[in-house]
Structure 1
């Protein structure tokens, strides 16, 4: 979406003075069929999100660390030469480090949660399968006793 298109949409929304919530959907000619349905995310979709979060974590750990070290060194050099900019750059470096940790924590949380969810679904499927097969075995026993 282009910036002017975004601005036009904002203006149009402001003109309507609508305070109601609107849920959008794909028009029928763009793949929507007009029916209600559940959100579906397959294993491949979840694995792709988990991999992207893990890759971002790995890459940002490396490159974010380089930026932090270089900025801290520059701040130290500037402060050592008596430049006020050194203290400002030091502050920016501290904020960078805090924001980096927040992003890395979020990436790790996403990746770990998806891994846990995948493992939990496998365990749930196994449990349900065992329960259903036990019921089928139990039913066979009742059928045998009834003479079926």
Structure 2
């Protein structure tokens, strides 16, 4: 095996390892975010929210998972995903700041939750781009032979 061939293989393995690390970090972020918003949603109703020691503990644990995932993303990058993760983290902080949601704040909280969902979608898109995934609709839109 030539030195050039070996160098190409090493670079390919490094690239695959980096991609795997990024994918794990991005997946951890999405899972932690969904867990956190699920926990918050469990305690929030149209009449406001009920905050108990149990709900505070669940929110704190889930928030820690989100922070841990963001830390991994800060390490693995790239910048576009770091930025999207930072915006999502800021949105998490906004959602948590509303707890407990008072009856008068329900509409504001609902807007913040919709914004959070938009930011989650942006994060997911940035992650997909960074990993090299392209939607089939995007890649086949100009090819009439693919349905």
Task: Report the TM-score, using the length of structure 1 for normalisation.
Answer: 0.36
Higher-Rg member (1/2): 1
